Structure 1
């Protein structure tokens, strides 16, 4: 038995799942803005209760390695590290983009096609990654400003180019007239329920993260705009 709790908080969706030997036992996704800090720990406790499990039964924690929301990823990782420290179990990282591709491959697997998950990075920019039907990386995770010729090179190499994720919506507006080989799939979001097999594989290979030093790949540097409100020091200058 290998019980793994998976945590996915890279977007506005707070997602938790429990897998046993890679098979889904229970999952919960909350589509509520800013729900991560208040809902994550109660969701984990509720799922453990429903599965008749206790914290001591867990063998590992899997958490999103990004890209995505800086705040969301920080909350997810802090919770995951806290559990790992307290229970003395390993930490596993899973790409949010890979979880999306795994979801799509359950219904649209085609060895002659390519898969491009995208997460919105504001304006016309997206975080993306390109994988084949076996989840083998063709183009590593990066960020990109979508243009009319984006991903056009893949049209000559593959039967279909699948685009999905909340970042793919704006890409679709530009690319849908370019070729019928571009295929857009709606309502695909990162979800912990699709971590199972990937987390199990890393667990069996002991591909664990360093609890002290592991940080998510945020996709780009975090930017916090300077407040326009005057501070106490400003007022007294």
Structure 2
């Protein structure tokens, strides 16, 4: 038996799920800007209440590790680590882009092409990766500036579905007969259930004291201009 609390805050979606043996039994999520700090702990309490479970009955905490929003990741990881310390439970880290690709495949089990999840970074830049229909990584997670030449090799040889909030802004640039775009949101903690369960049985746990989110890029501080 593996009861795992799952947290996703790497994107504008604040999402918390509870899974038992790889199956989601409770889910609470909401999309919006700057909502994670106010809602995360409330959502955790709610999913435990939905499942009629206590914190002590958890076997592990799983966190969507990024890349994604710097602030969102800090909030999610800090909360997950705090729970692990307080409850003496192991920490599991799941790549956010892998989680998104897994969500697409769970909703399209007969899909035969490639999946390219994209998280909006800035302007025409996205955090992205490419996976096949077995969730094997074909292109490592990276920050990419999208132009007309992006993914040409993949598109010339495969049907590719682009997903995530970064995909919509790139659609006008990635014009190709094999390029398709999904408007469905896969930034959900429920899509961590299978991955977290597999990691739990492999004992693929993080060092709670030293674990940090996968930011991919350094956070850039900006100074507002003085008003005249």
Instruction: Give the shorter-chain TM-score range.
Output: over 0.9
Please provide the CA RMSD for this pair.
1.5
Under a length normalisation based on structure 2, what TM-score does the superposition of the two structures give? Answer: 0.95
What SS does the aligned partner of 2:165 have?
coil
Report the Cα distance in structure 2 between the residues aligned to 1:188 and 1:50, rounded to whole angstroms.
23
Do structure 1's residue 101 and structure 2's residue 97 form an aligned pair?
A: no
Question: Which runs of no fewer than 5 residues in structure 2 stay unpaired?
Answer: none
- Aligned residues, how many? 227
- 1:190-234 Cα distance to aligned partner (Å, 9 max, x none): 11011001001110000001111111111211011134459xxxx
- Contact persistence 2:14–2:36 (CA under 8 A): yes
Q: How does 1:75-90 map to 2 (within 5 A)?
A: 75-90=75-90
**Cα deviations across residues 147-200 of structure 1 (Å, max 9, x unaligned)?**
011101012332x11111110112111113xx2211111132411011001001
Residue matched to 1:187: 184
Q: TM-score, normalised by structure 1?
A: 0.92
Partner residue, 1:215: 212
Q: Which residue of 2 aligns with 1:25?
A: 25
- In 2: Cα distance, 1:63 partner to 1:107 partner: 21
Q: Secondary structure at the match of 2:198?
A: helix
Structure 1 segments (4+ residues) deviating >6 Å:
none
Q: Which runs of 5+ in 1 are unaligned?
A: 231-237
For the residues of structure 2 that align with 1:106 and 1:203, how far apart are their CA atoms?
A: 20
> For residues 188 and 76 of structure 1, do their structure 2 counterparts lie closer, same or farther at Cα, with a shift above 3 Å needed?
same
Residues 29 and 43, structure 2, Cα contact 8 Å, conserved in 1: no
Q: How does 1:65-76 map to 2 (within 5 A)?
A: 65-76=65-76
Larger radius of gyration: 1
Structure 2 CA distance for aligned equivalents of residues 5 and 73 of structure 1: 16
The residue number in structure 2 matching 1:50 is: 50
Contact 1:111 1:132 in 2 (8 A): no
